[in-house]
Amino acid sequence: MIDEALTEKYQNPKLADEGWTETVMLKQSRDERLNFRIDGCVPFSGRSLLSSLKEKMLNLGDANFRAKDIGFRAQKKLLSRMANKSIAKVFIDDTTGCLLDNLYRLGRSVSGNKKEAEKVVKNIIKIVIKIGILYRNDQFNQEELWTAEQFKHKFHSTAMAIISFFEVDFSYDRNFLLQALNECRALLKNLVSRHLTDKSLNRIDHVFNFFANPSFLDDVFSRDSSHKELLSKIVSDMHKLMEDGSL
């Protein structure tokens, strides 16, 4: 005889998916042995059913476990905590690192604002590394990969124009450079908009707003510019990156 009966409703989407009744009857007998009955199915002992449920939960966990996804999240978390000029050496080659250092010096020299120049370079580093992480983890779809190719082509042609404006007298065209930089901005934001937060998109705007500034460009490319030495170093870095196919 059963002295006590305890009825509980057990909601389990996994069992429901398999056509099992969601209501599980829990009965407790004199000898404290637990018996479960799933309506319409053969009764199970408590130990047997619990083992079965545990196995199903473990299998479900295995299906959802992907080391690659965990690594992807870990890289993003690491980046959010450590993004600065020194961490760039881990993700960015020496020539690119040298270019970033010279961009920082140019930004500080033109703006007279050390803190702002540091923020611009830090945002560049974060953007570059995040895109690299997304690419290495196959996060871009085919349309985004095509956008990436468009950005690469536009950025390369913009870099070529910058080199030409420095090396060829009277060739500087402010409007052309502003348009090219803003087209690069639009392509880059289109590439990452599905993956990154508004905060990251604002970082992109911050970088392009800093460099795609008419006063900044005129100051850098004017014939009597006091920044020619720094610009010369930047152009030299760009030549090296183009030679090895990185730019």
160 pLDDT band, cuts 50/70/90, is very high
Q: Is 10 exposed, middle or buried (0-12, 13-18, 19+ CB in 10 A)?
A: middle
In tens, the pLDDT along 120-141 reads: 998 998 898 888 888 888 899 9
Q: What is the pLDDT of residue 77?
A: 59
pLDDT tens, position by position, 181-225 = 999 999 999 999 999 999 999 999 999 999 999 999 999 999 889
Q: Is 25 helix (H, G, I), strand (E, B) or coil?
A: strand
Q: Domain ranges in the chain?
A: 91-244
| Per-residue pLDDT, 13 | 45
- Residue with token string 């009597």: 224
Q: What is the pTM of this model?
A: 0.65
Name which of 2-16, 136-150, 203-217 the model is least confident about.
Answer: 2-16
Which CATH number applies to 91-244: 1.10.10.10, 1.10.1060.10, 1.20.1440.160, 1.10.760.10?
Answer: 1.20.1440.160
User: Between the CA atoms of 225, 226, 229 and 230, what dihedral angle is there, to the nearest 10 degrees?
Assistant: -90
Q: Distance between CA atoms of 232 and 19, rounded to whole angstroms?
A: 72
